[in-house]
Structure 1
Amino acid sequence: MTQNIGACQGECACSTCHVIASSKEHYLSLDSPTEKENDMLDLAHGLTETSRLACQLRMKRDLSGVEITLPGITQDVQKDI
């Protein structure tokens, strides 16, 4: 069984894939969040200065070494059987 976090499946329509960049430096190396993402982040539990929605992060080679963690509280975890 695996767990997928993100009820909207990457559509930026919920905050269930909330993640936290481990430092301000790591946060600033990511592309800037959109207004829509910031609106959804307002609904996230445990919001921090370096919070992002994982579904909106674009992985690229120059992000090597960036550390992202899950908050202490997650919501709407879906289980695939």
Structure 2
Amino acid sequence: MPTITFISPDGTKHQLEAKAGASAMETAVKFGVPGIIGECGGGLSCATCHVFVEPGDIDRTGTAEDFEEEMLEDALTPATECSRLSCQIRMTDELDGLVLTIAPEQ
């Protein structure tokens, strides 16, 4: 199982084991990570699972597709080139060790 670490805006780290194929958002919600709301349940319609991918990991996760970018434009925390919606990051063994910082405002 791949591991994923969520870093809360206050610096608290949450290291979790993710099920391969599950989204990063599903994993965070399952384990009750504060700050990942996932209001739409992963339907790509709310931007309440906005995270920042570590710059060195963006090649592994890929960049946001067009519709995801549109959703990020409406996120409360301004998007950066490392912004993703965690519902759109599917966990695989290749993403083992992934670090995501939770946007301060969801």
User: Normalising to structure 2: TM-score of the pair?
Assistant: 0.60
How many residues were matched structurally? 72
- By relative contact order (CA 8 Å, sep 6+), the higher-ranking structure is 1
Distance 2:59 2:73 in 1: 19
1:38 aligns with 2:73: no
List alignment gaps of at least 5 residues for structure 2.
1-31
1:49 aligns with 2:81: yes
Question: Aligned Cα RMSD in Å?
Answer: 1.6
- 1:15 aligns with 47
Distance 2:59 2:89 in 1: 12
Sequence identity of aligned pairs in percent? 36
